[in-house]
Amino acid sequence: MNQMSTPDLTHLLFRANEAEIGIAVITSDPVRLRAKLYAERKRHGLTNLTFVQPPVGSESRLWIIKKTAKKEAKNGTTQD
């Protein structure tokens, strides 16, 4: 597994925060990446982001998405 440095993790979080919904990250260990991202998320105050392993490809992918997008998907609503 490629070791991501803190700036790389921070970059992923800020990219997801700037995206409309979020981003998908390819990784060899989604669980480990998720754990590292939790600490970085807290450090930068990006509590509007959440981490989800997708239903397909969950062994190699992690979604970093905005909590508002996750709520809208559950409620079946979209932004205009």
Which of the pair, 77 or 40, is modelled with greater confidence?
40
**Cα of 17 vs its chain's centroid, Å:** 9
Name the residue with tokens 């979604």: 63
Residue 73: band (very low, low, confident or very high) from pLDDT cuts 50, 70, 90: low
So where are the chain's domains?
6-73
Average pLDDT taken over every residue of the chain: 86
Residue 57: band (very low, low, confident or very high) from pLDDT cuts 50, 70, 90: confident
**First vs last C-alpha separation in the chain:** 40
Query: How confident is the model at residue 68, as a pLDDT?
Result: 86
Round to whole Å and give the CA distance between 78 and 28. Answer: 32
Residue pair 54/61 in contact (Cβ under 8 Å)? The answer is yes
Judge whether residue 55 has pLDDT over 60: yes
Of the chain, the percentage scoring pLDDT greater than 90 comes to 72
